[in-house]
Amino acid sequence: MITYLEAIRLAQQKALATDPRVFLYGQDIGTFGGAFKATKNLSKEFPGRVIDAPISEDAIVGMAIGAAIEGARPIVEMQFADFSTCALNQIVNHAATLYYRTGVPCPIVVRLPSGGTSGGGPFHSQSMEAVYAHWPGLVVVTPATVEDAYSMLLEAVTIDDPVVFCEHKFLYYHLKADSLPETSLPIGKARIARQGRDATVVTHGAMLHESLAAARELAEDGFELEIVDLRSVKPLDTDTVLASVARTGRLLCVSEEWPWGGVTSEVIARVSSEGFGLLDVAPMRVNAKDTPVPYHPDLWSVHRPTASTIAAAARRLLQI
């Protein structure tokens, strides 16, 4: 069985093995193998290409940008997504503008261990995908399955544009698959993770699994939720979302990040403006509460959406 985390490790291993331009840069990723062990043994297997960085997020991304200009394909690990706020300037103002300004693309991948886990607290739990999606010039992906963690990371390395890779820490250990995929949907395409006729749930990351659990709960009452896993939030596959809403007439957006300007808001805005006629009732959203992510597990589990709050929202959407 391969975990989500191991899939990320294996993708980096494969990228290093097949593309000599690839190298890894980040804190504690060398001999130690990374805070989460996503680079375990890779420094031994690829000497000199898995490089420990000082505690300098801004310089880490800045260096990746320069390396990319010179033809390398750096994969950068932030120890936690939350610390990428210290690298934001390089990400949004340098990497993201390089192609537009100079015509030279910037093929870097910035891995962000994202999202909440029990006891993580305000500074080790954030989901930053909506922030990076706001700025032009970045591809922002949010793999929700072991297969996607693997194939999207491999694909990200081949992309000439900067990719913010939001991998979800909650899925690291407990999400498992039998084998790695040979083929996969390309980045930019959403996936129908579950078919259903009664309502469309659009989600991504760890919330996919909470939504699937909610769908199972509603299925017991005879209602079938269709679940769209966005896979990448920018580009956002509006077509797949609209096609699903065309079938169900109802839309529920579920996201772990904060509501204001988050993925739920963007999806609802697109469906409302581009597929207004498809909606039978008002679209709904479920997000984390609009406070920092609390440390205590009892608070945390209420702060984030869960299968039961999603199911409750779905019931309201279905007017049951």
Partner 1 sequence: MARSLYKTRNMSKPSEPVTEPDYLKAYRIMLTSRIVEEKLANLYRAGMIKGGVFLGRGQEALSVSVGIHLHRGDIFAPLIRDQAGRLAFGDTVLDTLRTYLGSQLGSMRGRDGNIHRGRPREGYYAMISHLGAMIPAVAGGLLAKRLAGEQGFVGATCIGDGGTSTGAFHEGLNAAAVDGLPLVVVVANNQYAYSTPNSRQYACADLVDKAAGYGVAGHKADGTNLLDCLQTLRKAVSAARVGGGPQLVVANLLRLVGHGEHDDFSYLDKKLKQSPVGSDCLLLAEQHIIAQGWKNIGELAEWKRETEDEVNATADRVRREPTPDPEEDDWEALSRAEYREQHTAP
124 is catalytic: yes
Q: Which does 37 bind (CB under 5 to 8 A by kind): its own copies, ligand TPP, partner 1, none?
A: none
The answer to the question of residue 264 lying near ligand TPP (CB under 6 A) is no
Number of other CB atoms surrounding residue 300 within 10 Å: 19
**Can you tell me which of 55, 269, 282, 299 binds ligand TPP, judged by CB under 6 A?**
55
Among residues 1, 47, 54, 183, the one that binds partner 1 under rule CB under 8 A: 54
Residue with smaller CB distance to its own copies, 42 or 130: 130
- Closest CB 251 distance from its own copies, rounded Å: 9
Q: Give the interface segment with its own copies, choosing from 17-25, 83-91, 164-172, 219-227 (CB under 8 A).
A: 83-91
CB-wise, 8 or 141, nearer to partner 1?
A: 141
With CB under 8 A as the contact rule, which of the stretches 96-104, 192-200, 201-209, 217-225 interacts with its own copies?
Answer: 96-104
* 13, 97, 272, 306: which one binds partner 1 (CB under 8 A): 97
Least distance to partner 1, CB of residue 257, Å: 11
Binding its own copies by CB under 8 A: which of 9, 124, 250, 285? 285
Per-residue 3-state assignment (H helix, E strand, C coil) for the chain: CEEHHHHHHHHHHHHHHHCCCEEEEECCCCCCCCCCCCCCCHHHHCCCCEEECCCCHHHHHHHHHHHHHCCCEEEEECCCHHHHHHHHHHHHHHHHHHHHHHCCCCCCEEEEEECCCCCCCCCCCCCCHHHHHHCCCCEEECCCCHHHHHHHHHHHHHCCCCEEEEEEHHHCCCCEECCCCCCCCCCCCCEEEECCCCEEEEECCCHHHHHHHHHHHHHHCCCCEEEEECCEEECCCHHHHHHHHHHHCCEEEECCCCCCCCHHHHHHHHHHHHCHHHCCCCCEEECCCCCCCCCCHHHHHHHCCCHHHHHHHHHHHCCC
Contact call for residues 152 and 187 (beta carbons, < 8 A): yes
x/- binding map, residues 287-306, to partner 1, per CB under 8 A? xxxxxx-xxxxxx-xxx-x-
CB 54, min distance to ligand TPP, A = 9
**Residue numbers of the site for its own copies (CB under 8 A)?**
82, 85-86, 88-89, 92-93, 96-97, 100-101, 122-123, 130-131, 133-137, 234, 236, 257-258, 260-266, 268-269, 271-277, 279, 281-285, 289-292
The residues assigned a catalytic role are 124
Which residues of the shown chain bind ligand TPP in the complex (CB under 6 A)? 27, 55, 57, 79, 83, 86
